[in-house]
């Protein structure tokens, strides 16, 4: 009960923030929430199940283009393209998982990275359809979901918050379920889990598909919300970002990816106003975090004060 | 972020006007020069300070600062001093959209300009449209004139790549040969060259005999040279990035001292690179497209010297402070010319604040003739208000003794094509 209350209070806090933040930061919050959906899904695979993937940009990109292409090719829009994007992320994650999960550890990381790179080059290859490295601008008319005009700041922010709330609560429910405990068992000791009768391959494949659905939804939402889909979102950078968000906020904590995404986003935004060497300062901040709070911000909080935090 | 506000020295006319106004105001006990009361016009610059566009960004900033200084010394824009707020977009489309937000909502800029890389333009233009802020890009991409963007996005300071490529074809066919093999990078920039040049050379009775796309991750090129058909008369190359030197070196090794086709390239390959760099000897005698000749031509117009002096570039196209610091000369003029275009539109529209942004865009759309002068040192241009795109003449240079020597200038008409969009019919 405490865990549910904690996350509901956090969501209420986000709603207050959404109502009071000035225009610039309110729009940034919408971006952060969509990225947090992506990182929350990544965290299910990485933080809870121990799968260190560098291929999630492929699932994010699949979601983005899974939504964008029906818009540009057939003039679709709204919920169907969001659903298609989400499905694309899940299907691609399942296909990659079928092969990549024959490996684990560093090998899994490299194999997923190779798949993601192949996906990126595929987007470039089909330039005539995908827009390649230049990408596609999505027309405003297609950017409506359930009657909500996504070219307007306030509706976009509230929809982003709604999607994040559902994503977060489903993640909390999942990790607190019996299956969630099996996920943790895979992370902690895969061989012992196998000995107890669980099939690591099947469990990890299911988690990877769920993680891919999150990534696909986030990619589709990012494209529709901000009106642009580009192959750049399928580069390795977008595989590393959710990992950093998770590590910074607290891998294996449900709310950690949001905290990490927000901290990283506003840190870059602030420091880039001071110097062009902002990535170096961000790197220093991450090193400090690793030295003094290796389990991330929320991991640190859980260790010290809230041991019941999922 | 960096803000530049150069010393504001009003013109004699502005001083006299100010004195007159001051006398009137003085009678009411308000004796202050009129320009001291005017709020600065705040222009946001989306700068590629980091990322793959950094070498361009550095020179774009120098060029914009130089134009800003000149404009402020001459009385500002519409009697108001001008300020530029720079924000780094990391040459990244996602960050680019955030920077548009930041310049508009946090810094309160009147408009935004200066973006070069096409993917950043594509990622940022939707947000500019949502915010209803004029967004003037310097990217030479065809995305503006193609109709892919919106009413708030314009490209008044540089000719787009479709026009540049099309205007090269008549000279290439008439002087170098009609059977062309093309080398281009295997992504959108290369495809623009592939598609537009192929059509343009066919219109001249020529033919592209092979199209060889090089993957962006490629580091060695020799195996591709075997695909060059023997009948090739002209080898057209638009390779960009760090692989250019290897490409040229391996091409030289491939042909050796034997017969070789004529070489024609786009200077994008060698922007900010000294053409006398060891390893580029094979390019001696070859031809390049340049929008703005890097080495000052013998027949350069009167504004050329003033422009070079203001930006700090010597006659060879390098920084006056460091001869090894070669400018991105063929592109950076667009930051200068766009700033003067803004000046013209602001003054024509009577723009006073963000409430007048729509009026400002309409004034921009009404501009057509952009004559040669210090405002447009690259050359005269024609602005098409319907497609939001400027058209100017282009140049072809030959490398002689390691230096680019201009040999031909096209007419503006050679680069024109049918309108693909009429933005003026779109709503704001």
Q: Is residue B177 very low, low, confident or very high in pLDDT (cuts 50, 70, 90)? A: very high
What three-state secondary structure class fits A149?
strand
| pLDDT value at residue B189 | 82
Are B191 and A226 in contact (CB < 8 Å)? Answer: no
The DSSP bridge pattern shows strands B403-409 and B395-400 to be: antiparallel
Question: Which of B98, B148, B217 shows the shortest C-beta gap to A28?
Answer: B98
As a whole-number percent, the residues of chain B with pLDDT over 90 amount to 78
Residue A282, domain member (yes or no): no
**DSSP assignment of A19-52, as one string?**
HHS-HHHHHHHHHHHHHHHHHHHHHIIIIIT---
Residue A69, domain member (yes or no): yes
Q: Which residues of A touch B98 (CB under 8 A)?
A: 28, 31, 269
| pLDDT value at residue B373 | 97
Topology agreement, domain B2-159+312-391+421-425 and domain B163-300: yes
- Restricting to B residues 112-131, those with a Cβ less than 8 Å away from any Cβ of A are 118-119, 122-123, 125-127, 129-130
Neighbours of B204 (CB within 10 A): 14
Residue B154, burial from CB neighbour count under 10 angstroms (0-12, 13-18, 19+): buried
Round to whole Å and give the CA distance between A121 and B118.
Answer: 18
Residue A264, domain member (yes or no): no
Are A28 and B101 in contact (CB < 8 Å)? Answer: yes
Q: What is the tally of structural domains in chain A?
A: 1
Q: What is the pLDDT of residues A222-232, one digit of tens each?
A: 999 999 999 99
Which residue is associated with the tokens 């200084």?
Answer: B69
Q: Is residue B37 very low, low, confident or very high in pLDDT (cuts 50, 70, 90)? A: low
**DSSP assignment of B168-225, as one string?**
HHHHHHHHT-SEEEEEEESSHHHHHHHHHHHHHHHHTT-EEEEEEEE-TT----HHHH
Are A135 and B119 in contact (CB < 8 Å)? Answer: yes
| pLDDT value at residue B2 | 56
Nearest CA in chain A to B100: A24
Residue A287, domain member (yes or no): no
Are B15 and B74 a contacting pair, CB within 8 Å? no
Fold observed for domain B2-159+312-391+421-425: Rossmann fold (3.40.50)
Are B126 and A230 in contact (CB < 8 Å)? Answer: no
Q: What is the mean pLDDT of residues B277-286?
A: 89
Question: Which of B119, B189, B216 shows the shortest C-beta gap to A232?
Answer: B119
In the numeric block, which tokens belong to residue A201?
């391959």
| pLDDT value at residue B4 | 59
Q: What is the mean pLDDT of residues B101-122?
A: 96
User: Best of B95, B100, B122 to disrupt the A interface by mutation (most A CBs within 10 Å)?
Assistant: B122
Q: Which residues of A touch B126 (CB under 8 A)?
A: 137-138, 140, 151, 226-228
Counted across chains A and B, CB pairs separated by less than 8 A come out at: 91
Nearest CA in chain B to A274: B1
Q: What is the mean pLDDT of residues B273-279?
A: 89
Q: Is residue B19 very low, low, confident or very high in pLDDT (cuts 50, 70, 90)? A: very low
What are the beta bridge partners of residue B370? B381
Are B188 and A132 in contact (CB < 8 Å)? Answer: yes
Angle separating helix axes A200-226 and A79-100, nearest 10 degrees: 150
Give the H or E element holding residue A228: strand A228-229
User: Residue A89's domain spans which residues?
Assistant: 2-233
| pLDDT value at residue B23 | 43
What three-state secondary structure class fits B147?
coil
B46/chain A closest Cα distance in angstroms: 13
A124 touches chain B (CB under 8 A): yes
Q: What is the mean pLDDT of residues B230-258?
A: 87
Q: Which residues of B touch A138 (CB under 8 A)?
A: 126
B138/chain A closest Cα distance in angstroms: 15
Give the H or E element holding residue B26: helix B12-27
| pLDDT value at residue A293 | 86
User: Best of A228, A233, A241, A264 to disrupt the B interface by mutation (most B CBs within 10 Å)?
Assistant: A228
Looking at the predicted structure, is the pLDDT value of residue B13 above 80?
no
Looking at the predicted structure, is the pLDDT value of residue B29 above 80?
no
User: Among 3.90.1150.10, 3.40.630.10, 3.40.50.2300, 3.30.70.240, what is the CATH number of B163-300?
Assistant: 3.40.50.2300
Q: Is residue B31 very low, low, confident or very high in pLDDT (cuts 50, 70, 90)? A: very low
Are A131 and B94 in contact (CB < 8 Å)? Answer: no
User: Best of B2, B89, B94 to disrupt the A interface by mutation (most A CBs within 10 Å)?
Assistant: B94
What are the beta bridge partners of residue B373? B376
Round to whole Å and give the CA distance between A306 and B13.
Answer: 71
Q: What is the 3-state secondary structure (H, E, C) of B317-382?
A: CEECCCCCCECCHHHHHHHHHHHHHHHHHHHHHCCCCHHHHHHHHHHHHHCCEECCECCECCCCEE
Q: Which residues of B touch A282 (CB under 8 A)?
A: none
Q: What is the pLDDT of residues B345-389, one digit of tens each?
A: 999 999 999 999 999 999 999 999 999 999 999 999 999 999 999
- Restricting to B residues 188-207, those with a Cβ less than 8 Å away from any Cβ of A are 188-189, 191
Query: Which residues 6+ apart lie within 8 Å of A288 measured at CB?
Result: none
B130/chain A closest Cα distance in angstroms: 6
A155 touches chain B (CB under 8 A): no
A134/chain B closest Cα distance in angstroms: 4
Neighbours of B130 (CB within 10 A): 24
Residue A267, domain member (yes or no): no
Q: What is the DSSP letter of B232?
A: -
| pLDDT value at residue A82 | 96
Are B187 and A127 in contact (CB < 8 Å)? Answer: yes
Residue A51, domain member (yes or no): yes
**DSSP assignment of A46-93, as one string?**
IIIT----S-HHHHHHHHHHHHHHHHHHH---SHHHHHHHHHHHHHHH
Tens of each residue's pLDDT in chain A, 310 residues? 889 999 999 999 999 999 999 999 999 999 999 999 999 999 999 999 999 999 999 999 999 999 999 999 999 988 999 999 999 999 999 999 999 999 999 999 999 999 999 999 999 889 889 998 899 999 988 899 999 999 999 999 999 999 999 999 999 999 999 999 999 999 999 999 999 999 999 999 999 999 999 999 999 999 999 999 999 999 999 999 999 999 999 999 999 999 999 999 999 999 888 888 888 888 888 888 888 888 999 999 999 999 999 8
User: Best of A30, A133, A270 to disrupt the B interface by mutation (most B CBs within 10 Å)?
Assistant: A133
B170 touches chain A (CB under 8 A): no
- Restricting to A residues 32-91, those with a Cβ less than 8 Å away from any Cβ of B are none
Per-domain boundaries in chain B: 2-159+312-391+421-425, 163-300
B218 touches chain A (CB under 8 A): no
CA atoms lying within 13 Å on the CB side of residue A77: 17
As a whole-number percent, the residues of chain B with pLDDT over 70 amount to 91
Distances (CA, A) of B91 to A39, A306, B53, B309, B333: 23, 41, 6, 28, 19
Question: Which of A121, A226, A278 shows the shortest C-beta gap to B127?
Answer: A226
Round to whole Å and give the CA distance between A54 and A250.
Answer: 18
| pLDDT value at residue B25 | 44
| pLDDT value at residue B52 | 86
Question: Which of B1, B97, B122 shows the shortest C-beta gap to A134?
Answer: B122
B196/chain A closest Cα distance in angstroms: 14
């Amino acid at each position: 009960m405490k865990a549910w209350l904690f996350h509901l209070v956090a969501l209420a806090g986000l709603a207050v923030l959404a109502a009071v933040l000035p225009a610039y930061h309110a729009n940034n919050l919408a971006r952060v929430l969509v990225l947090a959906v992506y990182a929350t899904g990544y965290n299910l695979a990485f933080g809870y199940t121990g799968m260190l993937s560098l291929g999630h940009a492929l699932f994010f990109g699949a979601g983005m283009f899974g939504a964008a292409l029906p818009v540009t090719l057939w003039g679709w829009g709204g919920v169907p393209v969001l659903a298609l994007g989400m499905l694309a992320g899940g299907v691609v994650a399942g296909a990659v998982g079928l092969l990549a999960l024959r490996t684990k550890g560093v090998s899994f990381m490299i194999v997923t990275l190779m798949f993601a790179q192949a996906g990126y080059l595929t987007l470039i290859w089909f330039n005539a359809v995908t827009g390649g490295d230049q990408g596609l601008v999505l027309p405003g008319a297609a950017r409506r979901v359930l009657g909500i005009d996504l070219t307007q700041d306030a509706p976009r922010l509230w929809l982003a918050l709604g999607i994040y709330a559902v994503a977060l609560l489903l993640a909390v429910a999942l990790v607190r379920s019996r299956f969630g405990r099996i996920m943790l068992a895979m992370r902690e000791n895969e061989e012992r889990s196998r000995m107890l009768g669980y099939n690591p391959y099947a469990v990890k494949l299911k988690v990877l598909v769920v993680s891919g659905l999150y990534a696909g939804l986030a990619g589709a939402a990012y494209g529709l919300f901000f009106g642009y889909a580009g192959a750049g979102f399928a580069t390795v950078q977008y595989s590393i970002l959710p990992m950093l968000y998770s590590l910074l906020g607290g891998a294996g904590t449900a709310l950690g990816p949001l905290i990490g995404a927000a901290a990283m986003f506003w840190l870059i935004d602030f420091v880039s106003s001071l110097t062009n060497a902002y990535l170096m300062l961000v790197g220093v901040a991450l090193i400090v975090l690793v030295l003094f709070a290796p389990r991330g911000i929320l991991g640190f909080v859980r260790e010290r004060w809230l041991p019941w935090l999922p | 972020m960096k803000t530049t506000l150069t010393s504001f020295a009003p013109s004699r006319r502005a001083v006299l006007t100010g004195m007159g106004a001051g006398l009137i105001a003085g009678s009411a006990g308000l004796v202050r020069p009129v320009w001291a009361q005017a709020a600065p016009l705040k222009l946001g610059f989306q700068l590629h300070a980091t990322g793959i566009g950094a070498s361009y960004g550095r020179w774009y900033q120098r060029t914009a600062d130089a134009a800003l200084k000149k404009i402020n010394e001459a009385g500002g824009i519409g009697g108001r001093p001008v300020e530029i707020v720079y924000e780094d977009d990391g040459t990244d489309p996602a960050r680019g959209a955030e920077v548009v937000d930041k310049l508009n909502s946090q810094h309160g800029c009147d408009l935004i300009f200066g973006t070069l890389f096409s993917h950043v333009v594509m990622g940022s233009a939707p947000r500019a449209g949502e915010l209803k802020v004029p967004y003037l890009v310097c990217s030479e991409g065809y995305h503006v004139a193609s109709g892919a963007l919106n009413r708030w996005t314009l490209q008044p300071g540089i000719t787009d790549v479709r026009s540049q490529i099309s205007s090269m074809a008549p000279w290439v066919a008439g002087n170098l040969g009609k059977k062309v093999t093309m080398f281009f990078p295997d992504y959108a920039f290369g495809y623009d060259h592939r598609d537009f040049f192929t059509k343009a050379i066919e219109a001249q009775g020529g033919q592209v005999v092979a199209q060889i796309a090089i993957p962006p991750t490629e580091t060695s090129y020799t195996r591709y040279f075997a695909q060059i058909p023997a009948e090739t008369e002209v080898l057209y190359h638009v390779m960009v990035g760090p692989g250019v030197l290897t490409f040229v070196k391996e091409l030289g090794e491939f042909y050796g001292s034997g017969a070789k086709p004529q070489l024609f390239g786009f200077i994008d390959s060698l922007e900010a690179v000294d053409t006398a760099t060891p390893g580029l000897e094979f390019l001696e005698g070859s031809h390049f497209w340049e929008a703005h000749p890097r080495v000052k031509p013998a027949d350069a117009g009167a504004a050329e010297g003033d422009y070079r002096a203001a930006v700090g570039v010597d006659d060879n196209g390098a920084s006056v402070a460091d001869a090894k610091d070669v400018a991105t000369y063929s592109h950076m003029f667009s930051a200068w010319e766009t700033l003067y275009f803004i000046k013209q539109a602001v003054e024509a529209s009577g723009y006073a604040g963000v409430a007048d942004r729509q009026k400002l865009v309409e004034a921009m759309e009404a501009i057509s003739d952009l004559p040669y002068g210090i405002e447009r040192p690259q050359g005269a241009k024609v602005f098409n208000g319907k497609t939001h795109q400027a058209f100017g003449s282009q140049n072809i240079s030959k490398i002689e003794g390691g230096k680019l020597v201009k040999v031909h200038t096209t007419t503006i008409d050679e680069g024109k094509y049918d309108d693909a969009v009429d933005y003026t019919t779109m709503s704001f």
